[in-house]
Amino acid sequence: MIDRLDAALRFQQEALSLRTQRQSVIASNIAHADTPGYKARDFDFSSTLAQTVERGKRAEGVSLSTTSARHLPGQAPVADDMDLQYRIPLQSSIDGNTVEMDTERVAFADNAVHFESGLTVMSAKIKTMLSAIQQ
């Protein structure tokens, strides 16, 4: 039963995890907007998600200790190195920094909106499962 619940929510869980990692990369770009020579980075969300889903099985990560035999074992996946790519700037800068704040702000807001919609979808799935269990 737990396996079915896990499988039903796995896609959304992986998508939200990747959205969180992407938000961190974009925030790092914004933080280094004034750093000379800094190269803006990002990753292709859709291809990374497809690879993660295709892999199917989560990478072994940190396991949580349990205090009772009735506790469910918890696994926290290890953040693997994604294929971070350098962004090609639309306009070059004298100091070699490739961060373009307008591009970063748009990417940050777009990623945040997709994250929120993913949470909404996951919440709806959980509510549907709870109502099915209660009936």
36-66 residue pLDDT tens: 999 999 999 999 988 888 886 554 455 667 7
Query: pTM score, two decimals?
Result: 0.75
First-residue to last-residue Cα distance in the chain: 17
Do the beta carbons of residue 41 and residue 85 sit within 8 Å? yes
pLDDT at 35 over 80: yes
DSSP string, the chain: -HHHHHHHHHHHHHHHHHHHHHHHHHHHHHHTTTSTT---EE--HHHHHHHHHHH-SPPP-EEPP-SSTTSPP-EE---PPP--EEPPPSS--TT-----HHHHHHHHHHHHHHHHHHHHHHHHHHHHHHHHHH-
User: Which residue, 43, 26, 44, is CA-closest to 99?
Assistant: 26
> Can you give the pLDDT at residue 104?
96
> Can you give the pLDDT at residue 76?
59
Mean pLDDT of the chain: 85
The Cα–Cα gap between 72 and 70 comes to 7
Tokens of 58: 């989560």
Pairing of strands 75-76, 41-42: unpaired
Percent of the chain with pLDDT over 90: 48
**Domain extents in the chain:** 2-134
73-95: pLDDT as tens digits = 766 555 555 689 999 888 889 99
